[in-house]
Every structure is written in structure tokens, then in C-alpha cells.
Chain A
Amino acid sequence: MEYKDYYQTIGVPRDATQDDIKRAYRKLARKYHPDVSKEPEAEARFKEIGEAYEVLKDPEKRTAYDRLGTRWKSGQEFQPPPGWDQGFEFHGGGFTEAASQFSSFFESLFGRNQQSHRYRDREFNLHGEDSHARISIALEDSFQGGIRSLTLQHTESGQDGRPLIKERTLKVRIPKGIQQGQHIRLAGQGSPGTGGGKAGDLYLEIVFKPHPLFRVEGKDIFLDLPVAPWEAALGATVAIPTPAGTVDLKIPAGSRSGQKLRLKERGIPGTPSGDLYVVLQIVLPAADSEQARAFYREMEQKLAFNPRAGMSIR
């Protein structure tokens, strides 16, 4: 297992006060909170920060951690020295709700969150808890429907009572027309029930992977389409990509940059389907040859064109 430098994770010196640690943690927690953050890897970072804070906020755990000394580097292969925690008594109850996902480094030092599941109501004592996960899919998956695999991690008690991190892979059918932010319920795939009770359900939140061409708003899709000045000015029929394949689009004569063309029901399928909006972006040819520069000069001379006519400049 790898050594983790909790001070480095939170970004404080080893002699930081408890207040410093709390302040640094709060700042990072807001920055990397998975519901708020747009940083890449926010969820993984948030877990690391939470684990580091779990140790450093608690003077008992912090002192024990400090006793490992300063010779370890983050990521280095680590085994706890024999008897390192002698003379310490951990009082338990110091685990927060998030403690189930901590690293094996943490668990080797402090054990594992033994807190039993709290149930909302006695009636549901036998019913397993519902669980939640996110699944990211390509926009195309929503157009075609399909099967996606998803790997989930959970902890189980091994034979000797030590926690084991187990992985399971689910194959899930992605219904055609599903939208970002919607949830798929998989009955019986949550936590197992106790005493013969029903297992909970698993709720998958759909997240679209960023697409290089399309952006999505609800059921509608937007495509920025580069067009040549003569295509916009004179009109043209051009081939454009859509998530369902290539189609021909007629650009009307006299189109302007930023103009939106709507292709009805070419968005995310459904009843009714969303629309596809093509946003025209007029792109200028580079004046990088004598011939091109001659063309531009000719336009300058022959077209009475003032792009700033509406600005009343004298």
C-alpha cells in the first residue's frame, strides 16, 4: 500500500494549527465538491481531502499519524511499523458518514468505520438501503440506446473481519432518448437486505461525456457550423454531422454569423423529440497568398461595404 501525505493533501505545513487545517479543508472542500465543482477529477480529489481531514481534524488520530515520522514520501510503499500505535486509545465515533470510502492506507492505521447502518424507520429494518451512482455515457448512446458496463466498488467484511474492497461490474441497458440528469432505477441492485429482506435499489444518474461537436440543453442539441462567406452570402447545401449520422443542410442566401437554423426533431429522440440547432459561424479564408490578398483587395475596391455603418462614426 502507498503512504499518503495528509498534510500535503490539505496543503498545510506539519505544524499547522487545528484552525489552519479546518480553514484549508473548508476551502478545498468547496472547490472540489462533486456537486459543485467543474474541476477534472473533482470526486477523487474530494475523497482524498475528506480522508486527510478525517485524520488531521482529530488530535488523537493526528498525533498517531505524526508518529509515523517525516521520512515517508507520498506514494511510497508503506507498511505500518510494528506496534506503532501502542499507547494510543482510539475512542471511535470519530468517523464521519463518508468514512466508508477511505483508502487501505487509512484503514491499516485507523481501522474501518464500524458504525452500523442507520435506518430511517423501524418498518424498513429488513429492507436494504438504496444506493446511488453516476454513469457517463456518450451522447450517441442516447440516440441509439445500448448496453453500457459500469464498475462499482463497495466494501465487504472478509472472513477474518478485515474490510475487503470488492468490485462488481453491471451491464445496464441505456434507454433510447435518455437525458442528462435523469435517473435509471435498477431494482434490487442496492445494498443487500438483512434477515431475508429485500435488497435496496440502485439509482444511476446519467451524465453525458463532453462531446467535441455538440452541446446539449435538455432535449435540444446545438452544433456550431463553420461556413465560408460565399456559402452564407449566396446560399449552399452542405453536409453536416448529427449524432444520428450525416445529413444535408440548406443554408439560405444572406445568412449571418450566429444565425440559428433549426432542424426539427433531430435532437434527442422521444415524444416529442428534441431539435437540432445549427449555429452558423462564418469563417474567413486566410490572406496567406498573393492570390488571396488580391481577392480581398478586389472586394475592398468593388464592394461598397462598411461593416460599421450603424455606428454613426464620422
Chain B
Amino acid sequence: MDYDILHGIVIEESEALSLSELCQICNVEVEWIMALVNEGIFEPAGTRPEDWFFSGVALRRVLVVRHLQRDLDVNLSGAALVLELLEERNALLAKINLY
């Protein structure tokens, strides 16, 4: 049954995402992504928003921040803090093998 096997693209390896692609993927507004950039949650490559490019890490962070805001009413700077602490915790947990 080879015909129904889906072949996908690994986002992190094949391409950088433009601002509008990132918005489309995450179902969010352009302005909201700009607020995340202003908060320093991730840094796009490129100078002006028209030629911004985002990595796969940005994609993951956008999704986590969106969930935190929607589910826990966390504001942007709070979400940025949670994100940093989460990444730190996950790295430490991986180190002590409790992951």
C-alpha cells in the first residue's frame, strides 16, 4: 500500500519561513508576530518585515506562546519568561535523564 504513504518536508531543514507563511501556519495575525519579535521571543533574519525570515525554532515558540496566552491568560512578557525557563528546564531534565 505504498500509494497512501505521505511524504512531508522537514520545515527546520528545508526552508526558512516568511512572515506571512508563519502567520498562515499558526493562524495568527501579522501584528501579533511583530509583538513577539519586539518582545525578543525570537529574532527573524532580514531587516524589514517584508524580508523577514524565521527558523523552525520560531515556529515552535509561536505555538507555545499562543497556547500559553489562550489557555493560561499569560501576557507576552510572562510568556517569554515561561518559554525561557521551559527551555532551560528541558535541557536540564535531558541532562539528568528524567526526560
Contact = CB atoms under 8 A, between A and B. Distances in A.
Contacts, number: 96
A129 B23 CA distance: 11
A137 interface: no
Contacts of A120: 23-24, 27-29
Contacts of A147: 5
Contacts of A185: 8-11
A113 B25 CA distance: 23
Contact of B11 (A170, A203, A222): A203
Interface residues on B, range: 35 or more
Contacts of A154: none
A120 B82 CA distance: 27
B67 A129 contact: no
Contacts of B70: 97-98
A46 B8 CA distance: 29
Contact of B86 (A35, A184, A205): A35
A124 interface: yes
A201 B6 contact: no
Contact of A183 (B7, B11, B97, B99): B11
B8 A172 contact: yes
A112 interface: no
A215 B98 CA distance: 9
B27 A171 contact: no
Contacts of B91: 217
Contacts of B51: none
A64 interface: no
Contacts of B7: 173
Contacts of A210: 99
A287 interface: no
A130 interface: yes
Contacts of B71: 29, 33, 46, 50, 98
Contacts of A311: none
Contacts of B59: 183, 203
Given A172-B6, A183-B12, A204-B8, A130 B27 contact: yes
Contacts of B95: 217
B6 A189 contact: yes
B28 A173 contact: no
Interface in A213-259: 215-217, 222, 224
A215 B97 contact: yes
A132 B6 CA distance: 16
A38 interface: yes
A224 B97 CA distance: 10
Nearest to A36: B86
Nearest to B65: A35
For the complex of A and B, list the 9 residue pairs with the smallest distance between their C-beta atoms, beginning with the closest.
Answer: A184-B8, A183-B11, A186-B8, A182-B12, A171-B5, A35-B64, A185-B9, A173-B7, A215-B97
28 contacts: A29-B71, A33-B71, A35-B64, A36-B68, A36-B82, A46-B71, A97-B70, A120-B23, A120-B28, A120-B29, A130-B25, A130-B26, A172-B5, A172-B8, A173-B5, A173-B6, A173-B7, A179-B12, A182-B13, A183-B10, A184-B11, A185-B10, A187-B9, A201-B25, A203-B25, A217-B91, A217-B94, A217-B95
Interface of B: 1, 4-13, 23-29, 56, 59-60, 63-64, 67-68, 70-72, 82, 86, 91, 93-95, 97-99
Interface of A: 26, 29-30, 33-36, 38, 46, 50, 97-98, 120, 124, 127, 129-130, 132, 147, 170-173, 175, 178-179, 181-187, 189, 201, 203-205, 210, 215-217, 222, 224
